[in-house]
Structure 1
Amino acid sequence: MPYDSESPSPARRRLRGNLVIATAALVPTCLAGWLVWQAMGGSGGQDDKPPRVLPLPSASVAVPPSGNAKLPTVTVTATPSPSASPRPARPTGPLAGRVVVIDPGHNPGNFKHPTEINRQVDIGTNKKECDTTGTATRDGYTEAAFTLDVAHRLRALLEKQGATVSYTQDGERAFGPCVDERARIGNTAKADAVVSVHADGAPEGDRGFHVILPALVKAGKADTAAIVGPSRELGVRIAGKFVAATGTAASNYVGDGTGLDVRKDLGGLNLSTVPKVFIECGNMQDSRDAGLLKSAQWRQKAAQGLADGIGSFLLK
């Protein structure tokens, strides 16, 4: 029901015209603020993606004279305030300026693409499959799901310290990438450290983690001479911090109790030109290790151990 059913007087028409002008002036500013709020994630954005700042609109509202009143035409332009479109903040923290690439082993979609992942690629010493499906626990928790989960936790921890972090894959690809491409991703990023996250598929009774280091290889496209030393240091630091964070013992079946293993048959290591290691966080086929790997609380500890090891290496 209308508040006032009588015809408005000239004085009221002038008052109403002034209110229209004032309201028009507020609309562009409110709209601009809403768009920035939306772009910065006000409606629920993804935490792990940088905000996309939308351009602010430039709105002009012209109000014509009404009746006999001689009202001027008013043009209102929305002008962003200094805080409306902030510049992206530079990372701060002890790892600011350092680049880390996390390589989550395998891919959830690999099993659907046997032809593609079985394609042979050159790893320097020989040729090998593009990628594999990875292993799984006896009740079906896959290595690919495990590696992505730990990778997400690890990225969050490193970014809190200011590091620039990227993945070789985040489950967004149909399969892969192939092992040679995984190496290229780290090389292209000029990473200060690359860590490939895995879990093993050894027999029941084989327990514990181990870190795989690159061997000295010079064959074909592979030349690890420059990275063997720093990669070993990265691996040693990760092994020590992993024990401290998780309480997990070093492997009882690889590395003679050191938690370290050196290999020359992994394309991801052979073709790397930046410090890189693999970590087998545990054995998915052992019932006790599987219980740890399936625990979200333990996976957070694993990510913390990896972050501590990487941070120790980068701050040395």
Structure 2
Amino acid sequence: MSVTGRALATALVLCGLGAAACGGTTADLARDRVGVPPVAATAAHPVTGGTAATPAGSATGAASASAASPTPVGKPLSGKVVVIDPGHNGQNYRHPAEINKQVDVLTKRKACDTTGTATANGYSEAAFTWDVSQRLDKILKNRGAKVVLTRQDNTGVGPCITQRAAIGNKARANVAISIHADGAGPANHGFHVIIPKRIGGPVDPVVKASERLGFDVRDAMRSGTGLPYSTYIGKDALDYRNDIGGLNLSTVPKVLVECGNMKNPTEAARFQQPAFRQKIALSLANGLQQYLTH
């Protein structure tokens, strides 16, 4: 499927980023500040057509924000429920029997979960996704959203991909997003967004909405992080699949974001920078807000 992308007219303002270590702590996150909204722009949506304002959104600053920091008005995501699904878990590798258990994702049977990938120097995908998810959680809550995480730490196992979908369904989320990073060949680089296909199952009613969400997240990631579209999978950073359990079983609009390739030296180095992980989180928040408010 070929759909012309829409540039998201969003300026991201990052200030006072904390010096959190890889997989940062709550105290580290408390020192981070989030973006403030620029003037909205108007652009045609590639799926629905027409025009829509595309603000980057806003969030109140951390307690340490200076008096000069702009103060956003209102809570643009009040009343919205967002489910964040941080891929994998930090102790999956210690429990192969549990995570290799086969589960039904409707189009096939797959492992309950996997260990995920890691950079050449051992920074794990599980730690990366957990850190980005914590940052995204903070930004969305500051914008008024109720946030539900599919796992509560990076020191456990799972949950299975079927359970991850069920958490979003039970929460009756307005939107859900699964955060990952890829482990392709070192020469490959760039991010992509995985969008569900119709499978004659529970995801079918939300496939079109998930596609619109995918465009919004894709555009915000490109604009906010400067990362290129994937050079090795999908088209224009979009990949339509019917074998992802967390998407196949979702009854709410949902996409999976592969934020880049952890085996690529350049992207691996950037992913280990707290400031860049904050950029990713803010970009994802802006994409979600674009979807939820237009």
Instruction: Choose which of 106, 112, 119 in structure 2 pairs with 1:124.
Output: 106
For residue 287 of structure 1, the aligned residue among 254, 261, 265 is 265
Question: Corresponding residue for 1:166?
Answer: 148
By relative contact order (CA 8 Å, sep 6+), the higher-ranking structure is 2
Tell me the TM-score normalized by structure 1: 0.69
- Aligned with 2:120 (options 130, 135, 138): 138
Task: From 224, 244, 265, give the equivalent of 1:245.
Answer: 224
**SS of 1:194 mapped into structure 2:** strand
Q: CA deviation at 1:156?
A: 0.8
Q: Which residue is equivalent to 1:104?
A: 86
The code of the aligned residue for 1:164 comes to K
- Give CA-to-partner distance per residue, 1:235-272, whole Å, 9 cap, x none: 1001101111101111011123x111011111000000
CA positional deviation for 1:289: 1.1
Shift of 1:166: 1.3
Deviations 1:6-59 (A, max 9, x none): xxxxxxxxxxxxxxxxxxxxxxxxxxxxxxxxxxxxxx99999xxxxxxxxxxx
Does the 8 A contact of 1:245 with 1:305 survive in 2? yes
Structure index of larger Rg? 1
Inter-partner Cα distance in structure 2 for 1:121 and 1:173:
22
Paired AA for residue 296 in structure 1: P
**Does the 8 Å contact 1:148/1:170 carry over to 2?**
no
Match of 2:233 among 233, 247, 254: 254
Match of 1:236 among 204, 210, 215: 215
Identity %: 47
Q: Show the 5 A alignment for 1:141-290.
A: 141-171=123-153, 174-218=156-200, 222-256=201-235, 258-290=236-268
The one-letter code sitting in structure 1 at the alignment partner of 2:247 is: L
The equivalences for 1:1-40 within 5 A come to none
1:297 is aligned, of 275, 283, 286, to 275
Aligned length: 226
Secondary structure of residue in 2 paired with 1:211: strand
Code of the aligned partner of 1:147: T
* Most deviating of 277-286 and 287-296: 287-296
Cα distance in 2 for residues equivalent to 1:173 and 1:277: 25
Q: Summarize the Cα distance change of 1:188–1:203 in structure 2 as closer, same or farther, 3 Å threshold.
A: same
Moved >4 Å (runs of 4+): 44-48
Q: Which runs of 5 or more structure 2 residues have no equivalent in the other structure?
A: 1-25, 31-73
Q: Which residue identity lines up with residue 242 of structure 1 in the other structure? A: M
Cα separation, 1, equivalents of 2:27 and 2:227: 36
**Counterparts in 2 of 1:204 and 1:217: CA distance versus 1, 3 Å:** same
Note the C-alpha offset of 1:312.
0.3
1:154/1:306 contact within 8 Å kept: yes
Equivalences for 1:68-79 in 2 at 5 Å? none
Deviation (angstroms), 1:295: 1.2
The answer to whether the Cα contact below 8 Å between 1:224 and 1:272 also exists between their aligned partners in 2 is yes
Partner of 2:11: none
Residues 94-149 of structure 1, C-alpha deviations (whole Å, 9 max, x = no match): 10000000000000010111000000111111111000000000000000000000
Separation (CA, whole Å) in 2 of partners of 1:267 and 1:141:
25
Task: Tell me the SS of whatever aligns to 1:277.
Answer: strand
Whether the 8 Å contact between 2:119 and 2:262 is mirrored in structure 1 is yes
How far off is 1:171 after superposition?
A: 2.0
Q: 1:232 Cα shift?
A: 0.5
Per-residue CA deviations over 1:58-105 (Å, capped at 9, x if unaligned) read: xxxxxxxxxxxxxxxxxxxxxxxxxxxxxxxxxx61100000000000
Return the structure number with greater helix share.
1
Runs of at least 5 residues in structure 1 that lack an aligned partner in the other structure: 1-43, 49-91
Q: 1:153/1:205 Cα in 2 relative to 1: closer, same or farther (>3 Å)?
A: same
Aligned equivalent of 2:7: none
Q: Secondary structure at the match of 1:255?
A: coil
